[in-house]
Every structure is written in structure tokens, then in C-alpha cells.
Amino acid sequence: MPESHANARNGAPVLVFDEGGARGGVVLVSELWGLDEALRGWAARLANEGYTVVAPDLWWRHPGVPPLGTHDEVRAGLLLLDDGLALQDIAAAAALLPAGRPRVVIGFCVGGLYARMASAAVPGLAAAVEFYGRLVYPTLGPSKPTQPLDLLPGRACPLLCHYGADDPICPPHHVDELERRLSAQAAAGRVYRYPGATHGFMNHRRPGGSAATAELAWSRTLRFLDEVLE
């Protein structure tokens, strides 16, 4: 699948995957590892399904990051990403998608967190899909001023969530709270949990990658998009 490059109005570099986009547009938001091979693979598959895909580089304000390796580097990298600026980048990327067609945001890991946040903060989305986005920050600060779950009351579109049952970053009691809050809202919200799966199960290049779980979650995602975009 050929890819091209663009820049959003705010300057954020964006990868574009486009086979015509007859079914709509997707903002695809990466894990902390950035626009890696796994992310490009999912983008190409979405384009083959008929979606125009734009993948913003959330690291453009921080040259040289990633790569990220050690646990401490990953934690430091997460703190570099300002939630408000990341959501601005997602909104700017969405503005590059074809007008007059539904727009969706899908994200993995920190990108999943921002996909969920975008469902409340970015206007005009038809749906959002997150894969194992963090639900509770250990601490708040200037780059992370609000607990992610506290943004859910602003959600304006259907939301699909995927979590591994053995994910230490998104433990079951946090996912329980997500489900409780979604059940109290008018917009559709759905949560899938995958027994035996841990964090990062969609990325085959990472220790938690699981091809079988990834394919099941992906099939459910495509079915969800069919339902909400029909």
C-alpha cells in the first residue's frame, strides 16, 4: 500500500494511506513507538477496506523521540506528550480527511487513550475505537491535567474499547469503571476483554503481541465500523 506525506495546518507531519476512501476517513493514532511497521500495516489494511487513513506523528515537537527502550524511557516519553496538544494534532489530522464522509479515530496504547479522549474533545467524529488506552494516570501534572475517565461525560459518538484481561497498565478494576461509566451514557459504548492477552497485543513486534487476539479484535472493529457508519 503506497503511502504519502502531508502536513496539517498546525504543522504536524501526517502519513496518508488512500485508495479512494469511499467508506470514510480514519485518523489512526500510534503507540508510544510512533509510526512503526505495525502501525503502517494496520493503516494499509484500513485503506484496503475503503477508508482514507491519516496517521499523525505525535512526536513532531520532540525530535529524536522515539526510539524508546527502557521502562524509564517509556515513562519519560509519555510525560512528554501533552494531552491538549495531542488532541489538537488529532483534530488537525481529521481536517485533512475527505469532506462529506464520516470520520473515525482509532488508536493503540497511548493512541488508544487519545482516541477515547477525542470522542469527547474532537467535534464531528462518527465513532472512536481504542485499543488498551490507559484509563487512570498515576499522577496529574501540566501535560496530564485531567484523569482520562473524567473526560467521558463529553463523549459525543459511539466508542469501542479493546482490553487484554491480563494488562497491568489497564487492570480489570479500571476497565470495570470504564464499563460502568459507559453504561450510564446515551452514546453507544462497548468493551471487549481478551482472556490471556496483555498490553500491546495488537503489535506483533512487541512482547505482548498476539496474532490470534489481534485478528479477533480487528474483525470486531471492522464490524463495529460497518454498524455505526451504515
What tens digit of pLDDT does each residue of 116-174 get?
999 999 999 999 999 999 999 999 999 999 999 999 999 999 999 999 999 999 999 99
Task: Give the residue among 102, 80, 81, 105 at the shortest CA–CA distance from 92.
Answer: 105
pLDDT, tens digit, 9 for 90 and up, residues 211-223 = 999 999 999 999 9
- With cell 484496503, the residue in question is 48
* pLDDT for the residue 1: 54
CA atoms within 13 A on the CB side of 157: 28
pLDDT at 80 exceeding the cut of 90: no
Q: Sorting pLDDT into bands at 50, 70 and 90, what band is 11?
A: confident
Sequence spans of domains, the chain: 4-229
* pLDDT for the residue 28: 98
- With cell 502536513, the residue in question is 7
The CATH code that applies to domain 4-229 is 3.40.50.1820
Average pLDDT over all residues of the chain: 92
> Which helix (H) or strand (E) segment is 214 a member of?
helix 211-229
